[in-house]
Chain A
Amino acid sequence: MTEFTPWMSLAGGVLIGLAATILMAFNGRIAGMTGIMSGVIPPLSADWAWRAAFLAGAVIAPMIYVALGGVVPFSAPISTMAMIVGGLIVGVGVSYGSGCTSGHGVCGIARFSPRSIVATIVFMLAAFATVFVIRHVIGG
Chain B
Amino acid sequence: MNSGINVAKVRSIGAIYVAEARMSAMLKWKGIIAIVAIGNPLFYLVAIGIGVGVLVSENSGTSGTGGVEYITFIAPALLASAAITGALDEAMFPVMEGFKWRKLFYAMNATPITGPQIALGVFIAALARVAFTVICYWAVLIAFGVMSVEQSWDVIPVTIFAAGAFAAIIMGITAKVKNDDYFMTVLGRLIIMPMFLFSGTFFPLNTMPIYLQPIGWISPLWHATELGRHFSYGYSISAQMLVIHFAFLLALLICGFALANRTFTTRLTK
State whether these chains interact: no
Residues of B within 8 A of A (CB): none
Instruction: Enumerate chain A interface residues (CB-CB to B < 8 A).
Output: none
